[in-house]
Copies of this chain bind each other. A is one copy, B any other.
């Protein structure tokens, strides 16, 4: 069943009013008619099973049939800070990271980032990336859409560390194991930091640790820049009980 994210202002006691691009989707892509059902998600923990009543150009009015707790959000909020990467790899990370429960995305540029980033297309890119996250959130039955932030430089990323309970810095050349670090974490807000194709420099590693991160390695095999975030998200949520993992 189709899922649409709505704002709480669009929810009444008995009815929901969908507005914006999703109306076009309901009307022209899904070609829904009165009586068809859909799920509306308020990004605050509640899903609404609704039945379409009317569709006009600007809005779709639905009757609420049932309210259910949204089950698609993991218990721990894991934000993914990842360097921009070449080609479509970054968009893959957004899409699959969203499926795997990422809380938000912090794209950054570090010393070895290959991609040339100029501010000109920044807004359009960010819009596109946010749309990818939205579609992936809908398809994967997330309870909310992960926010995609504006591309930041290395210093700006470091300044964000204090807002998290734990920052895990993925570093090829050593560090502690993921499992050991997770067993120590208290608090539920985590940030994982993954570098570009060429990895991080020693200096960046020192700066990340000085800013409060723990350097972790990802096991005996080298994971590509676009694989590492997916492996981390999978294992972290599994550690906390998803997919039946023994919760820590």
Contacts and interface: CB of A to CB of B under 8 A. Distances in A.
- Size bin of chain A's contact surface: 35 or more
B235 A238 contact: yes
Contacts of A72: 220-221
B230 A239 contact: no
Interface string A215-242: 0011111111011001100110111001
Interface stretch (A5-13, A36-44, A114-122, A138-146): A138-146
Give this chain's copy count: 2
7 contacts: A96-B224, A139-B224, A140-B221, A179-B243, A179-B245, A219-B242, A235-B243
Contacts of A139: 222, 224
A234 to B, nearest CB: 4
Given A101-B221, A227-B96, A227-B99, A238 B179 contact: yes
B99 A222 contact: yes
Contact of A220 (B71, B217, B235): B71
A95 B73 CA distance: 29
Among A71, A100, A234, A237, the most chain B Cβ lie within 10 Å of the Cβ of A234
Interface in A194-232: 217-224, 226-227, 230-231
Nearest to A181: B244
Contact of A235 (B218, B223, B224, B245): B245
